[in-house]
Structure 1
Protein backbone atom coordinates (compact mmCIF):
# COMPACT_ATOMS: atom_id res chain seq x y z
CA UNK A 1 0.00 0.00 0.00
CA UNK A 2 2.73 2.47 1.02
CA UNK A 3 6.42 2.44 0.26
CA UNK A 4 8.93 4.81 1.77
CA UNK A 5 11.40 6.31 -0.68
CA UNK A 6 14.23 8.69 0.17
CA UNK A 7 13.13 12.32 0.10
CA UNK A 8 15.23 14.18 -2.49
CA UNK A 9 15.45 17.68 -3.97
CA UNK A 10 13.06 16.49 -6.70
CA UNK A 11 10.40 16.30 -3.95
CA UNK A 12 10.87 19.85 -2.61
CA UNK A 13 8.14 21.49 -4.72
CA UNK A 14 5.55 18.91 -3.65
CA UNK A 15 6.30 19.32 0.05
CA UNK A 16 6.29 23.11 -0.24
CA UNK A 17 2.87 22.92 -1.94
CA UNK A 18 1.52 20.68 0.82
CA UNK A 19 2.80 22.86 3.66
CA UNK A 20 0.95 25.94 2.49
CA UNK A 21 0.15 27.74 5.74
CA UNK A 22 2.07 28.76 8.82
CA UNK A 23 0.04 26.78 11.34
CA UNK A 24 0.38 23.54 9.37
CA UNK A 25 4.11 24.11 9.01
CA UNK A 26 4.45 24.67 12.75
CA UNK A 27 2.40 21.55 13.53
CA UNK A 28 4.55 19.57 11.10
CA UNK A 29 8.01 20.86 11.98
CA UNK A 30 7.84 22.99 15.11
CA UNK A 31 10.41 25.76 14.96
CA UNK A 32 12.80 23.88 12.64
CA UNK A 33 11.79 26.01 9.64
CA UNK A 34 10.48 29.51 9.26
CA UNK A 35 7.45 30.09 7.06
CA UNK A 36 7.24 29.81 4.13
CA UNK A 37 9.16 26.63 3.50
CA UNK A 38 11.91 27.14 0.89
CA UNK A 39 14.14 24.94 -1.27
CA UNK A 40 17.24 26.26 0.52
CA UNK A 41 15.80 25.28 3.91
CA UNK A 42 14.99 21.82 2.58
CA UNK A 43 18.51 21.50 1.15
CA UNK A 44 19.86 22.12 4.66
CA UNK A 45 17.31 19.62 6.08
CA UNK A 46 18.65 16.88 3.78
CA UNK A 47 22.33 17.35 4.62
CA UNK A 48 23.73 14.07 5.93
CA UNK A 49 20.37 12.30 5.64
CA UNK A 50 19.66 8.73 4.49
CA UNK A 51 23.18 7.36 5.04
CA UNK A 52 23.07 3.88 6.57
CA UNK A 53 26.86 3.99 7.08
CA UNK A 54 26.47 7.05 9.33
CA UNK A 55 22.86 6.95 10.56
CA UNK A 56 21.72 10.28 11.93
CA UNK A 57 18.44 10.94 10.16
CA UNK A 58 16.36 9.23 7.50
CA UNK A 59 13.89 11.37 5.57
CA UNK A 60 11.26 9.78 3.36
CA UNK A 61 8.37 10.52 1.12
CA UNK A 62 5.48 8.08 1.35
CA UNK A 63 4.33 6.73 -1.99
CA UNK A 64 1.05 4.98 -2.72
CA UNK A 65 2.17 1.71 -4.32
CA UNK A 66 -0.88 1.50 -6.57
CA UNK A 67 -0.79 5.02 -8.02
CA UNK A 68 2.89 5.87 -7.65
CA UNK A 69 1.89 9.24 -6.16
CA UNK A 70 3.58 10.76 -3.15
CA UNK A 71 1.01 11.08 -0.36
CA UNK A 72 3.07 12.06 2.64
CA UNK A 73 6.35 12.68 4.43
CA UNK A 74 8.00 11.13 7.50
CA UNK A 75 11.42 11.07 9.12
CA UNK A 76 13.37 9.09 11.69
CA UNK A 77 16.06 11.12 13.41
CA UNK A 78 17.73 11.68 16.74
CA UNK A 79 19.36 8.32 16.22
CA UNK A 80 21.67 7.21 19.01
CA UNK A 81 23.70 4.14 18.16
CA UNK A 82 24.82 3.87 21.79
CA UNK A 83 21.25 3.91 23.17
CA UNK A 84 19.84 2.18 20.07
CA UNK A 85 17.07 4.76 19.90
CA UNK A 86 15.47 7.09 17.39
CA UNK A 87 12.63 9.58 17.08
CA UNK A 88 9.90 9.75 14.47
CA UNK A 89 9.20 13.30 13.40
CA UNK A 90 7.72 15.47 10.68
CA UNK A 91 4.85 13.10 9.91
CA UNK A 92 2.55 14.52 7.25
CA UNK A 93 -0.27 12.76 5.46
CA UNK A 94 -0.99 15.23 2.69
CA UNK A 95 -3.29 13.29 0.40
CA UNK A 96 -5.83 10.53 0.93
CA UNK A 97 -6.58 11.15 4.59
CA UNK A 98 -8.66 8.40 6.15
CA UNK A 99 -7.20 5.72 3.85
CA UNK A 100 -4.75 4.24 6.37
CA UNK A 101 -1.69 6.02 5.01
CA UNK A 102 -0.55 7.27 8.43
CA UNK A 103 -0.46 3.78 9.94
CA UNK A 104 1.24 2.36 6.83
CA UNK A 105 3.89 5.10 6.94
CA UNK A 106 4.58 4.61 10.64
CA UNK A 107 4.70 0.81 10.35
CA UNK A 108 7.13 1.04 7.42
CA UNK A 109 9.36 3.40 9.40
CA UNK A 110 9.21 1.18 12.50
CA UNK A 111 10.31 -1.76 10.34
CA UNK A 112 13.32 0.23 9.12
CA UNK A 113 14.16 1.32 12.65
CA UNK A 114 13.88 -2.08 14.26
CA UNK A 115 14.99 -4.40 11.45
CA UNK A 116 17.55 -2.37 9.50
CA UNK A 117 18.91 -0.01 12.16
CA UNK A 118 18.50 -2.49 15.05
CA UNK A 119 17.04 0.14 17.36
CA UNK A 120 15.66 -0.77 20.78
CA UNK A 121 13.32 2.21 21.27
CA UNK A 122 11.54 4.58 18.92
CA UNK A 123 9.60 7.56 20.21
CA UNK A 124 7.71 10.59 18.95
CA UNK A 125 5.90 13.68 20.14
CA UNK A 126 2.46 14.73 18.95
CA UNK A 127 0.39 17.74 19.95
CA UNK A 128 -2.51 16.74 22.18
CA UNK A 129 -5.16 18.22 19.89
CA UNK A 130 -4.14 15.88 17.05
CA UNK A 131 -6.37 13.02 18.20
CA UNK A 132 -6.38 11.33 14.77
CA UNK A 133 -2.59 11.02 14.88
CA UNK A 134 -2.64 9.76 18.48
CA UNK A 135 -5.15 7.05 17.48
CA UNK A 136 -2.96 6.13 14.51
CA UNK A 137 0.17 5.83 16.63
CA UNK A 138 -1.63 3.71 19.22
CA UNK A 139 -2.88 1.47 16.40
CA UNK A 140 0.78 0.98 15.42
CA UNK A 141 1.66 -0.10 18.96
CA UNK A 142 3.10 3.10 20.44
CA UNK A 143 2.20 3.83 24.04
CA UNK A 144 1.76 7.14 25.78
CA UNK A 145 4.71 7.86 28.06
CA UNK A 146 3.46 11.20 29.31
CA UNK A 147 2.32 14.69 28.46
CA UNK A 148 4.46 17.81 28.45
CA UNK A 149 1.90 20.47 29.33
CA UNK A 150 1.84 23.83 27.55
CA UNK A 151 5.22 23.20 25.95
CA UNK A 152 4.70 25.40 22.87
CA UNK A 153 3.02 28.76 22.44
CA UNK A 154 1.49 29.41 19.04
CA UNK A 155 -0.36 32.67 18.55
CA UNK A 156 -2.20 33.11 21.86
CA UNK A 157 -2.59 29.41 22.62
CA UNK A 158 -0.43 26.85 24.36
CA UNK A 159 -0.03 23.38 22.96
CA UNK A 160 0.77 20.30 25.04
CA UNK A 161 2.93 17.52 23.67
CA UNK A 162 2.03 13.84 24.07
CA UNK A 163 5.18 11.71 24.22
CA UNK A 164 4.79 8.18 22.86
CA UNK A 165 7.16 5.26 22.32
CA UNK A 166 7.46 1.64 21.33
CA UNK A 167 10.17 -0.83 22.32
CA UNK A 168 11.76 -3.44 20.11
CA UNK A 169 10.17 -6.41 21.91
CA UNK A 170 6.71 -4.80 21.74
CA UNK A 171 7.11 -4.26 18.02
CA UNK A 172 8.37 -7.81 17.43
CA UNK A 173 5.38 -9.25 19.35
CA UNK A 174 3.08 -7.43 16.90
CA UNK A 175 4.80 -9.11 13.95
CA UNK A 176 3.76 -12.64 15.00
Structure 2
Protein backbone atom coordinates (compact mmCIF):
# COMPACT_ATOMS: atom_id res chain seq x y z
CA UNK A 1 0.00 0.00 0.00
CA UNK A 2 1.14 3.51 -0.78
CA UNK A 3 0.84 6.45 1.56
CA UNK A 4 1.53 10.02 0.53
CA UNK A 5 3.50 12.35 2.79
CA UNK A 6 4.45 15.99 2.20
CA UNK A 7 7.56 16.43 0.07
CA UNK A 8 10.09 18.46 2.09
CA UNK A 9 13.65 19.76 1.66
CA UNK A 10 14.90 16.53 3.27
CA UNK A 11 13.58 14.73 0.16
CA UNK A 12 15.38 16.96 -2.37
CA UNK A 13 18.58 14.87 -2.70
CA UNK A 14 16.69 11.69 -3.55
CA UNK A 15 14.56 13.34 -6.24
CA UNK A 16 17.64 15.04 -7.70
CA UNK A 17 19.34 11.64 -7.81
CA UNK A 18 16.35 10.05 -9.58
CA UNK A 19 16.13 12.79 -12.25
CA UNK A 20 19.52 11.97 -13.74
CA UNK A 21 19.09 12.93 -17.38
CA UNK A 22 17.57 15.71 -19.42
CA UNK A 23 14.98 13.56 -21.20
CA UNK A 24 13.63 12.17 -17.92
CA UNK A 25 13.50 15.72 -16.55
CA UNK A 26 11.36 16.84 -19.48
CA UNK A 27 9.12 13.76 -19.27
CA UNK A 28 8.61 14.37 -15.54
CA UNK A 29 8.25 18.15 -15.45
CA UNK A 30 7.60 19.45 -18.95
CA UNK A 31 9.14 22.91 -19.05
CA UNK A 32 8.77 23.69 -15.32
CA UNK A 33 12.40 22.85 -14.51
CA UNK A 34 15.63 22.88 -16.45
CA UNK A 35 18.27 20.18 -16.20
CA UNK A 36 20.00 19.55 -13.89
CA UNK A 37 17.44 19.74 -11.10
CA UNK A 38 18.66 21.85 -8.15
CA UNK A 39 17.76 22.38 -4.50
CA UNK A 40 16.96 26.04 -5.26
CA UNK A 41 14.47 25.04 -7.95
CA UNK A 42 12.84 22.53 -5.62
CA UNK A 43 12.64 25.12 -2.83
CA UNK A 44 10.67 27.36 -5.19
CA UNK A 45 8.50 24.38 -6.25
CA UNK A 46 7.29 23.60 -2.72
CA UNK A 47 6.89 27.21 -1.58
CA UNK A 48 3.32 27.55 -0.29
CA UNK A 49 2.52 23.89 -1.03
CA UNK A 50 0.44 21.54 1.12
CA UNK A 51 -1.65 24.24 2.82
CA UNK A 52 -5.21 23.02 3.41
CA UNK A 53 -6.31 26.59 4.25
CA UNK A 54 -5.15 27.84 0.85
CA UNK A 55 -5.09 24.78 -1.40
CA UNK A 56 -3.27 25.57 -4.61
CA UNK A 57 -0.80 22.70 -4.88
CA UNK A 58 0.01 19.58 -2.90
CA UNK A 59 3.42 17.97 -3.41
CA UNK A 60 4.06 14.50 -2.04
CA UNK A 61 6.59 11.77 -1.73
CA UNK A 62 5.14 8.28 -2.11
CA UNK A 63 6.05 5.84 0.64
CA UNK A 64 5.69 2.06 0.56
CA UNK A 65 3.87 1.46 3.85
CA UNK A 66 5.32 -2.06 4.17
CA UNK A 67 8.98 -1.05 3.91
CA UNK A 68 8.83 2.64 4.81
CA UNK A 69 10.92 3.37 1.72
CA UNK A 70 10.27 6.38 -0.48
CA UNK A 71 9.44 5.05 -3.94
CA UNK A 72 8.16 8.05 -5.83
CA UNK A 73 6.92 11.59 -6.23
CA UNK A 74 3.54 13.06 -7.23
CA UNK A 75 1.71 16.37 -7.06
CA UNK A 76 -1.81 17.73 -7.36
CA UNK A 77 -1.95 21.31 -8.56
CA UNK A 78 -3.96 23.84 -10.55
CA UNK A 79 -6.62 23.51 -7.88
CA UNK A 80 -9.70 25.61 -8.49
CA UNK A 81 -12.11 25.75 -5.58
CA UNK A 82 -14.66 27.53 -7.79
CA UNK A 83 -14.62 24.77 -10.41
CA UNK A 84 -13.75 22.03 -7.88
CA UNK A 85 -10.98 20.78 -10.15
CA UNK A 86 -7.31 19.89 -9.98
CA UNK A 87 -4.55 18.40 -12.10
CA UNK A 88 -2.13 15.60 -11.29
CA UNK A 89 1.42 16.42 -12.35
CA UNK A 90 5.00 15.27 -11.93
CA UNK A 91 4.34 11.56 -11.37
CA UNK A 92 7.50 9.51 -10.92
CA UNK A 93 8.32 6.08 -9.61
CA UNK A 94 11.94 6.86 -8.80
CA UNK A 95 13.98 3.73 -9.32
CA UNK A 96 13.65 2.09 -12.74
CA UNK A 97 13.70 -1.35 -11.10
CA UNK A 98 10.55 -0.44 -9.12
CA UNK A 99 8.51 0.50 -12.20
CA UNK A 100 5.88 -1.93 -13.42
CA UNK A 101 5.18 -3.22 -9.90
CA UNK A 102 1.90 -1.36 -9.27
CA UNK A 103 3.38 1.58 -7.37
CA UNK A 104 2.14 4.14 -9.90
CA UNK A 105 -1.46 2.91 -9.61
CA UNK A 106 -1.19 3.04 -5.82
CA UNK A 107 0.17 6.58 -5.96
CA UNK A 108 -2.62 7.73 -8.27
CA UNK A 109 -5.35 6.10 -6.18
CA UNK A 110 -3.96 7.66 -2.99
CA UNK A 111 -3.94 11.10 -4.64
CA UNK A 112 -7.46 10.64 -6.02
CA UNK A 113 -8.63 9.82 -2.50
CA UNK A 114 -7.15 13.11 -1.27
CA UNK A 115 -8.60 15.07 -4.19
CA UNK A 116 -12.11 13.65 -4.06
CA UNK A 117 -12.53 13.02 -0.32
CA UNK A 118 -10.43 15.66 1.44
CA UNK A 119 -10.57 18.48 -1.11
CA UNK A 120 -14.07 17.65 -2.43
CA UNK A 121 -13.00 18.08 -6.06
CA UNK A 122 -15.38 17.23 -8.91
CA UNK A 123 -12.79 16.66 -11.64
CA UNK A 124 -9.13 15.68 -11.72
CA UNK A 125 -7.15 15.74 -14.95
CA UNK A 126 -3.65 14.93 -16.12
CA UNK A 127 -1.53 14.94 -19.24
CA UNK A 128 0.83 12.19 -20.32
CA UNK A 129 3.07 11.97 -23.37
CA UNK A 130 1.64 9.54 -25.90
CA UNK A 131 4.75 7.33 -26.00
CA UNK A 132 4.50 6.61 -22.26
CA UNK A 133 2.32 3.52 -22.68
CA UNK A 134 3.00 2.21 -19.15
CA UNK A 135 1.76 5.45 -17.57
CA UNK A 136 -1.32 5.54 -19.81
CA UNK A 137 -2.12 1.97 -18.77
CA UNK A 138 -1.68 2.94 -15.10
CA UNK A 139 -4.03 5.93 -15.40
CA UNK A 140 -6.69 3.90 -17.23
CA UNK A 141 -6.46 1.24 -14.52
CA UNK A 142 -6.99 3.95 -11.88
CA UNK A 143 -10.20 5.05 -13.64
CA UNK A 144 -9.13 7.90 -15.91
CA UNK A 145 -10.72 8.32 -19.32
CA UNK A 146 -8.81 9.53 -22.36
CA UNK A 147 -10.30 12.84 -23.47
CA UNK A 148 -8.11 13.85 -26.37
CA UNK A 149 -4.63 14.35 -27.77
CA UNK A 150 -2.74 17.62 -28.09
CA UNK A 151 -0.44 17.03 -31.03
CA UNK A 152 3.23 18.05 -31.05
CA UNK A 153 3.06 20.21 -27.92
CA UNK A 154 6.65 19.77 -26.73
CA UNK A 155 9.88 19.73 -28.68
CA UNK A 156 12.76 17.64 -27.41
CA UNK A 157 15.82 17.69 -29.65
CA UNK A 158 14.47 17.19 -33.16
CA UNK A 159 11.36 15.33 -32.01
CA UNK A 160 7.92 16.59 -31.06
CA UNK A 161 5.89 14.95 -28.31
CA UNK A 162 2.10 14.76 -28.23
CA UNK A 163 0.16 14.90 -24.98
CA UNK A 164 -2.74 12.60 -24.11
CA UNK A 165 -5.28 14.44 -21.94
CA UNK A 166 -7.09 12.31 -19.38
CA UNK A 167 -9.64 13.01 -16.67
CA UNK A 168 -11.80 11.42 -14.01
CA UNK A 169 -14.95 12.80 -12.40
CA UNK A 170 -16.00 12.34 -8.79
CA UNK A 171 -18.96 10.09 -9.63
CA UNK A 172 -16.71 7.82 -11.73
CA UNK A 173 -14.24 7.60 -8.86
CA UNK A 174 -17.00 6.86 -6.34
CA UNK A 175 -18.35 4.08 -8.57
CA UNK A 176 -14.89 2.51 -8.76
CA UNK A 177 -14.22 2.74 -5.04
CA UNK A 178 -17.65 1.48 -3.99
CA UNK A 179 -17.56 -1.39 -6.49
CA UNK A 180 -14.43 -2.75 -4.82
CA UNK A 181 -15.88 -2.52 -1.29
CA UNK A 182 -17.68 -5.58 0.10
CA UNK A 183 -21.41 -5.23 0.53
CA UNK A 184 -22.93 -5.38 3.99
CA UNK A 185 -24.95 -8.54 4.66
Give the TM-score normalised by the residue count of structure 1: 0.99
Q: Which consecutive aligned stretches of 4+ in structure 1 deviate over 3 angstroms post-superposition?
A: none
Q: Which residue of the partner structure matches residue 144 of structure 2?
A: 142
d(CA) in 1 for partners of 2:24, 2:106: 21
Q: Does 1:155 align with 2:167?
A: no
Q: Which residue of the partner structure matches residue 84 of structure 1?
A: 84
SS at match of 1:135: helix
Q: Which residue of the partner structure matches residue 2 of structure 2?
A: 2
Q: What are the Cα deviations for residues 102-141 of structure 1, in whole angstroms up to 9, with x where unaligned? A: 0000000000000000000000000000000000000000
SS at match of 1:172: helix
Q: Which residue of the partner structure matches residue 53 of structure 2?
A: 53
SS at match of 2:161: strand
Q: How does 1:32-111 map to 2 (within 5 A)?
A: 32-95=32-95, 96-111=98-113
d(CA) in 1 for partners of 2:176, 2:165: 21
Shift of 1:13: 0.1
d(CA) in 2 for partners of 1:99, 1:63: 14
Give the TM-score normalised by the residue count of structure 2: 0.94
Shift of 1:66: 1.1
Shift of 1:94: 1.2
Query: What are the ranges of 5 or more consecutive residues in structure 1 without an aligned counterpart?
Result: none
Query: What are the ranges of 5 or more consecutive residues in structure 2 without an aligned counterpart?
Result: 179-185
d(CA) in 2 for partners of 1:22, 1:149: 21
d(CA) in 2 for partners of 1:153, 1:57: 26
Q: What is the CA RMSD across the aligned residues, in angstroms?
A: 0.5
d(CA) in 1 for partners of 2:135, 2:177: 21
**Aligned partner of 1:130 among 129, 132, 140:** 132
d(CA) in 2 for partners of 1:161, 1:99: 24
Question: Which protein has the larger Cα radius of gyration, Structure 1 or Structure 2?
Answer: 2
